[in-house]
Structure 1
């Protein structure tokens, strides 16, 4: 009996030591986020897992919840090196939502848990949290860490505009300035895009994220016409701000707001640099009015809308060629009137509409007038929503004008690479044509 009791005690003790050893091993595994757990949304993060056994398989999973509560996820499988470490900057992913050496794959390859959703960021004052877990091949969570993806640097001033008739949010960098000024106009929804505006302000620009409908006391739905005087007032407000250096102002746009940006450049004298990302060279959905000038909108051809085998609507060819007929040519924005510089961007796999055709026609119109004040950039395999770096790709989502889920196109990796390249181009473009113009003006005076 004593022997059996001793044996049972030995088994219990052995089992306890095994559990302690397992827990000790799990606690030794850790995830490091470099340079730290806090970073800006457009900055790269180095993810390292340490404390694994040599050649141990580990799955990394990332998860974020946007400001609407929609969950986005990514995953990848790695093999630890001889020291028991995985460094996503040097180690290849063997499978998952991406493969190969992709330092930021856990961020840009995220897909929505609910299909056809786009990451929604309501305010730049609330960071996005990205949770990263390391799991064993049995599914045990070995370690967890959270990356806080921020939008505003310390000292940034976020100023909602509720005076006069201009609506939006003004972002001013820390410091006395003055700073080059940029008006940021986003797409359907009409509200201010605080994410892009704040991240651009982090780079030393005073950025007005301009709302133009569906926000505060502006019209709730897209109006039948847009008066350019509203956008002129926004430019005057930003240009007259004591912390904005002027005299010229920049404009950045995407999708529907592209025709608004081209119109601003064509008719407003204070615009010095315009970025149009996957926009149209004719007004879309609403006609444009400025003083005694009216530019009719380009009407869609509904017969050109198709449905993919998966049941998603494809509207790429819904808008006709603006130069096809005498009637449609009346809708083309006269960009040749503009004296500013243009950065015209088109994604070759844009399924929202034929961005490459519209971009080429704007460039041709300038070229025909012996102007060289533009740069045309095309991105192969990129989709419609070219956002800030590491923003999860949106291949399909609800379209406010259509009222249903539609295709937006793009291959995830190529789209992510395009976003990273474009972000650098935009900053260089605005610095060249806003900062240098001011310096030249001062020198002339």
Structure 2
């Protein structure tokens, strides 16, 4: 549904019908540079859409060649207002189609239908300075509103609110009936069986529920699996996590009545991407492997305080999986990057050590999709992903495999079109990247992943 609201000279909102019924003089609109024609100024956008949808925003009813500003605002979960803006000149018919136009000025450059969304920053924040480490746009749990206002000569003339839903409200949470597993099982709307995916979080230890809900909204029955952390049934830290644990998860999914087919997709972020590649190389019935900023090399695990554990992150049959040790580096005050633990270790490892720790990805019997970034400050994901591709190239891998490198982007990939200011670092970590590059990577990685999973596992296209 598309809606449009308008502001009258007193700043109070009017519906289109009220506005048209009230207009008997056009002097106020003309004074603001607005059209004296029958149609009043308007801004139209879908009233609601899923957070990963690119939407059309259209401005109409202004004087031809008028300079106007479109401002966007939204509130983070903590109450902070985030804002963005773009300046345009109206076309000869008094309209501006934002998806097709580059702004003359504003918070983003170039033609970008969703520039007003990802380029938001906290109101009043200096655009030339990094945000404080704890500044991050966190949407409300289910949806957030974005208010779009058109201004001419500094005066608001039209307004529209569009709601960004983080997931389809008809997504269902189903119980995980295997007591050995810790996670959330999320199924798409409806009753039909759907392709299944296991999502694996990174070294932070927190399941990515928002990703799982959006995957379910897009037609994938998703088990958001936690593989280390608080519950007693799983390891406390990223230390010798059994590969068999993920195999238990895929086996459980294959028996569920809401799961279609036997092949299950694995989708891992960062250390979870390393785990997805490892499990895929050792397990039958895997139908797809996705790694976001992953590693094709097994690394040392992390103990209490995320310090080097002295053993592998993973185990098989109770034995540590061969791994590369992290470099011996003096801890730095947070927020800090962690590249110095990985790059020297890669450079100084012997051929035998590296061969032993490299995941035999050629044993995987499924398509593989990798996403890396070139300004990764956590670990060198582009290099680690390229090792996977090189190995698949050498062995004549018979399935589809793709590695997409995103120039200038950092480690912190999130759902598309959310504001990316604040994703270069947090209180503890430096992730790298820049606001625009991170936004491009988020959108490309997400939509590329959905397309890949549909090709590999089937499933419906977006509604």
Question: TM-score category by the smaller chain?
Answer: 0.7 to 0.9
Count of matched residue positions in the alignment of Structure 1 and Structure 2: 406
Matched, 1:249 2:264: yes
- For the 8 Å contact 2:51–2:167, the answer to whether it is kept is no
Q: Does structure 2 retain, via aligned residues, the 8 Å contact 1:61–1:133?
A: yes
Cα separation, partners in 2 of 1:185 and 1:105, compared to 1, 3 Å: same
Structure 1 residue 178, shift from structure 2 partner = 1.8
> CA separation in 2, counterparts of 1:30 and 1:435?
41
Task: After TM superposition, list the pairs within 5 Å mapping 1:205-224 onto structure 2.
Answer: 205-214=220-229, 222-224=237-239
**SS of 1:280 mapped into structure 2:** coil
Corresponding residue for residue 315 of structure 1: 338
- 1:30 matched to 2:53: no
Cross-structure match for 2:416: 389
- CA-atom RMSD, angstroms? 3.4
- Residues 14-63 of structure 1, C-alpha deviation per residue, up to 9 Å, x if partnerless? xxxxx995489889443211xx2101111111122334343333222222
CA offset digits 1:195-241 (Å, max 9, x no partner): 32222223322112222345677779644332223322221222211
Which residue of structure 2 aligns with residue 64 of structure 1? 74
Matched, 1:347 2:347: no
2:140 and 2:360 map into 1 onto residues whose CA distance is 34
Tell me: CA distance 1:30–1:221, structure 2 relative to 1, closer, same or farther (3 Å).
farther
Partner of residue 212, structure 2: 197
In the other structure, the counterpart of 2:14 is none
Contact persistence 1:260–1:283 (CA under 8 A):
no
Q: Does residue 432 in structure 1 map to residue 455 in structure 2? A: yes
Q: Is the Cα contact below 8 Å between 1:274 and 1:341 reproduced in 2?
A: yes
Aligned to 1:12: none
Cα distance per residue 1:393-430 (max 9 Å; x no partner): 355122xxxx6241422x44444334333333322322
> What TM-score do the two structures reach when normalised by structure 1?
0.79
Deviation sequence 1:67-113 (CA, Å, 0-9, x none): 45555432212223344333212333111111333221101223355
Alignment match, 2:247: 232
Structure 2: gaps spanning 5 or more residues? 1-24, 35-39, 126-130, 303-312
> Could you tell me whether the CA contact under 8 Å between 2:410 and 2:431 is conserved in 1?
no
Using the TM superposition, give the Cα deviation of residue 345 of structure 1 relative to its aligned residue in structure 2, in angstroms: 2.1
Instruction: Say if 1:315 and 1:192 are closer, same or farther in 2 by CA, change over 3 A.
Output: closer
**Deviation string, structure 1 residues 174-206 (Cα, Å, up to 9, x no partner):** 233221111122334333323322222233221
8 Å contact 2:171–2:188 — kept in the other structure? Answer: yes
| Structure 1 equivalent of residue 362 of structure 2 | 336
Q: State yes or no: 1:280 paired with 2:300.
A: no
Contact 1:283/1:295 (<8 A) preserved:
no
2:203–2:238: 8 Å Cα contact kept in structure 1?
Answer: no
Give the whole-Å Cα distance in 2 for the aligned partners of 1:225 and 1:70.
41
Q: Secondary structure at the match of 1:89?
A: helix
Summarize deviations over 1:279-313 as a string: whole Å, max 9, x none.
Answer: 12223534201214312554433659999xxx974
2:446 to 398, 423, 428: 423
Rounded to whole Å, the distance in 1 between the matches of 2:51 and 2:360 is: 36
**Are residues 67 and 269 of structure 1, via their aligned partners in 2, closer, same or farther at CA, if it must alter by over 3 Å?**
farther
Asked which structure has the greater CA Rg, the reply is 1
Distance 1:159 1:132, change over 3 A: farther
Q: Does 1:131 align with 2:147?
A: yes
The alpha-carbon deviation at position 328 of structure 1 amounts to: 5.3
Q: C-alpha deviations, 1:355-378, integer Å up to 9, x for none?
A: 111011122233444434332222
Q: Is the contact made by 1:273 and 1:430 (CA closer than 8 Å) also made in structure 2?
A: yes
Q: Which ranges in structure 1 are unaligned for 5 or more consecutive residues?
A: 1-18, 437-445
Q: What SS does the corresponding residue of 1:406 show, helix, strand or coil? A: coil
Q: Which residue of 2 aligns with 1:10?
A: none
- Give 1:331 deviation, angstroms: 3.4
Question: How far apart are the structure 2 equivalents of 1:135 and 1:168?
Answer: 47
Superposed counterparts of 1:9-408, under 5 Å: 22=28, 28-33=40-45, 36-69=46-79, 71-112=81-122, 114-116=131-133, 117-120=135-138, 123=141, 126-138=142-154, 140-153=155-168, 155-159=170-174, 161=176, 164-214=179-229, 222-281=237-296, 282-283=298-299, 285-286=301-302, 287-295=313-321, 298-301=324-327, 303=329, 313-320=336-343, 321-322=345-346, 324-325=349-350, 326-327=352-353, 329-373=355-399, 374-393=401-420, 395-398=423-426, 404-408=428-432
Q: TM-score, normalised by structure 2?
A: 0.76
Q: Distance in 1 between matches of 2:228 and 2:174?
A: 19
Residues 315-368 of structure 1 show CA distances to partners (whole Å, capped at 9, x for unaligned) of: 334313547324455433332332232112222232322111101112223344
Q: Deviations over 1:236-269 (max 9, x none)?
A: 2222111111211001122221111112212232
